[in-house]
Amino acid sequence: MGVVVEFSTSKTGKHGHAKCHFVAIDIFNGKKLEDIVPSSHNCDVPHVNRTDYMLIDIAEDGFVSLLTENGNTKDDLRLPTDDNLLTQIKDGFGDGKDLVVSVMSAMGEEQICGLKDIGPK
């Protein structure tokens, strides 16, 4: 599942169908993905959600505790693997700031993808 960064079509071949070539970057791990499909076929498109949660705690094992909109906690996400975002989260939390993390979810996967500093505690 990724963001399409390149798209091209080929002319009709000997089997009667033009081909569409897609190049995408995976939204969770950054890997390059490619697919070639007949232009007459449909393509599945994932539904991607982005939700903001207040960061409550960071456990020693790398899991975070997040406050949901309805007041429950969400404890099944790990810190992001992106070094820059990871550093911003750890430093901001260590400094006692109130942080809101953005979580992207699609096709059964979830990952922290952004951070908002809403001020000191």
Lowest mean pLDDT among 2-11, 60-69, 82-91, 98-107: 2-11
Residues 34 and 52 in one domain: no
Number of structural domains found in the chain: 2
> Domain of 74: which CATH number?
2.40.50.140
Residues 78 and 26 in one domain: no
pLDDT value for 81 = 87
CA dist 59 and 74 (Å) reads 13
The boundaries of the domain holding residue 19 are: 2-38
Are the C-beta atoms of 96 and 89 separated by less than 8 Å? no
pLDDT value for 57 = 95
> Domain of 24: which CATH number?
2.30.30.30
CA dist 31 and 9 (Å) reads 22
Classify residue 1 as exposed, middle or buried by CB count within 10 Å of its CB (0-12, 13-18, 19+). Answer: middle
Task: Report residue 58's pLDDT band, with 50, 70 and 90 as the boundaries.
Answer: very high
Region 90-105: mean pLDDT is 92
Global pTM reads 0.76
pLDDT value for 44 = 82
Task: Report residue 16's pLDDT band, with 50, 70 and 90 as the boundaries.
Answer: confident
Residues 54 and 96 in one domain: yes
For the chain, percent of residues with pLDDT exceeding 70: 96
pLDDT above 90 (res 118): no
Task: Report residue 120's pLDDT band, with 50, 70 and 90 as the boundaries.
Answer: low
User: Is 43 within a domain?
Assistant: no
Residues 30 and 81 in one domain: no
User: Is 20 within a domain?
Assistant: yes
Are the C-beta atoms of 79 and 93 separated by less than 8 Å? no
